[in-house]
A and B are shown apart, each in its own frame.
Chain A
Amino acid sequence: MEVGQMQRSLVDYTKSLFLEGVLDGQFLQLQQLQDETNPDFVAEVVSLFFEDSQRLLNDLTRTLDQPNVDFKIVDAHVHQLKGSSSSIGAQRVKNSCIAFRNFCEAQNIEGCMRCLQQVKQEYFLAKNKLETLFRLEQQIVAAGGSIPMMELSF
């Protein structure tokens, strides 16, 4: 594939992530903070997000499996996940965390279990899409092209 075509498909792909609500404007903020002195900033922050989320999702699964669920711990984990997803602009993960916290407050275990599945689903979706996005970027760079800047009009 020629570079111009790859650049266009990266732009289209990025746009689709915003239209589907996978990403929000915060992701563009991250991209704005990336420059020649920090060429991998976005990928670094996002990989920290993957590590952190994976740990929190494991902890949440374990905590909700206990016979006596400690909702304070559940809420603390969800709060952290909500914070980090909002910091990288993973909008759908963030939104499912908001719903999760409501069930947590109500100490509704079935609701919490459903939300955990929902959060996991959104997390893997975001992870998948972001990995594809970075792969497209790498292919463009490998072909000697530059990454097109996204417009801030979302």
Chain B
Amino acid sequence: MGMAAAESQFHVLAVDDSVIDRKLIERLLKTSSYQVTTVDSGSKALQFLGLYEEAEEDQQTNPPQTPCVSPTNNHHQEVEVNLVITDYCMPGMTGYDLLKKIKESSSLRNIPVVIMSSENVPSRISRCLEEGAEEFFLKPVRLSDLNRLKPHIMKTKIKDQQNLEKLEESEETQFQSPPPTLPLQEQQQQQQEQQPPSNNKRKAMEEGLSPDRTRPRYNGIATPV
């Protein structure tokens, strides 16, 4: 996946044991211009994300050479995933179990997770949100629900970029590339929307953001081609 592809299309991993619901969520996401991978179980999702039990142990005894600052650590993950959307009720590993595994993993915890369920059980919803899920969608998922995904992806992008900047300080000159246009604007809008409408805060935010314009995007560097 090259830089341009990564910018125009975010990649969503959809997890559902029902073949009907996989087909449906795949179509919904593609209609909303996402790149989609579907798998039928939580363990296959973890496999796709590059999280193996052995790899976790390996990481504890032999830490990877690059500091683990982002979800797309090359050591673990072969394909960048910008968001995971998973069914709650699945045989074996439930969507809740999958959520916990992702949030417990140093390399994956920044990936936003959205849970889908056909049952409106308040305790279940709050349990998922407490565990770090970004959203809880009631099934059947509708096109209008998908509008709620983008902000979570953009929020993570900003976090990733901030993390990357720390890493980049010393090697900035190696990665000169033209600033992205549209995605950055979206990020700015996103950040502004999240800020309370205070002029001081916004000004500070804009100052903080301006160096970004000359920075390369994280995707182009860390995503294996």
How far, in whole Å, are A38 and B140 apart by their CA atoms in the complex?
20
Interchain CB contact under 8 A, B140 and A48: no
| Residue B27 at the chain A interface, CB threshold 8 Å | yes
B55 within 8 A of A: no
Cα separation A87 to B138 with both chains bound (whole Å): 11
- Mask, A30-43, CB within 8 Å of B = 1, is 10110000100100
- The answer to whether the Cβ of B31 comes within 8 Å of any Cβ in the partner chain is yes
Does B18 belong to the interface (CB within 8 Å)?
Answer: yes
Q: Is A79 an interface residue when CB atoms closer than 8 A count as contact?
A: yes
A87 touches B21 (CB 8 A): yes
Out of A52, A79, A80, A87, name the residue touching B24 (CB < 8 Å): A87
From B28, which residue of chain A is reached at the shortest CB distance? A33
Chain A residues near B18 (CB, 8 Å)? 52, 80, 83-84, 87
Asked if A96 lies at the interface with its beta carbon under 8 angstroms from chain B, I say no
* Interchain CA distance A45-B18 in the complex, whole Å: 11
> Looking at the complex, which one of A33, A79, A86, A87 makes contact with B31 (CB distance below 8 Å)?
A33
A44 to B89, CA, bound (A): 24
Q: Assess whether A92 is interfacial by the CB under 8 Å rule.
A: no
Contact in complex: B20, A29 (CB < 8 Å): no
CB contacts (< 8 Å) of B140 on chain A: these are 26, 29, 86-87, 89
Specify the chain A residue showing the minimal Cβ separation from B22: A48
A42–B139 Cα distance when bound, in Å, is 18
- Min Cβ gap A78→B in Å is 12
**Interchain CB contact (< 8 A) of A52 among B20, B27, B28, B142:** B20
| A76 → B minimal CB distance (Å) | 8
Q: Is A49 interfacial (CB-CB < 8 Å)?
A: yes
| Complex partner residue of A29 from B19, B89, B118, B142, CB under 8 angstroms | B142
Interface positions of B from 1 to 53, Cβ below 8 Å from A: 18-21, 23-24, 27-28, 31
Residues in B with CB closer than 8 Å to A82 are 118
A89 to B142, CA, bound (A): 12
CB of A86 to closest CB in B, whole Å: 6
| Chain B minimum-CB-distance residue to A76 | B91
CB <8 Å contact, B23 and A48:
yes
A-contacting residues, B131-145, CB 8 Å: 139-140, 142-143
How many angstroms from the CA of A44 to the CA of B143 in the assembled complex?
19
Q: How far is the CA of A34 from the CA of B183 in the complex (A)?
A: 28
- The distance from the CB of B13 to the nearest CB of chain A, in whole angstroms, is 19
Given the interface contacts A29-B142, A86-B139, does A45 sit within 8 Å of B20 by beta carbon?
yes
Q: Given contact pairs A32-B143, A83-B118, A83-B139, enumerate 15 new A-B contacts (beta carbons under 8 Å).
A: A26-B140, A29-B140, A29-B143, A30-B24, A33-B24, A33-B28, A33-B31, A41-B27, A45-B20, A49-B20, A52-B18, A52-B19, A82-B118, A86-B140, A87-B18
A interface residues with partner B (beta carbon < 8 Å):
26, 29-30, 32-33, 38, 41, 44-45, 48-49, 52, 79-80, 82-84, 86-89
Identify 19 residue pairs between A and B in the complex whose beta-carbon atoms are under 8 Å apart, listed by A's number. A26-B140, A30-B24, A33-B27, A33-B28, A41-B27, A45-B20, A45-B23, A45-B24, A48-B20, A49-B20, A52-B19, A79-B118, A82-B118, A84-B20, A86-B118, A86-B140, A87-B18, A87-B20, A87-B139
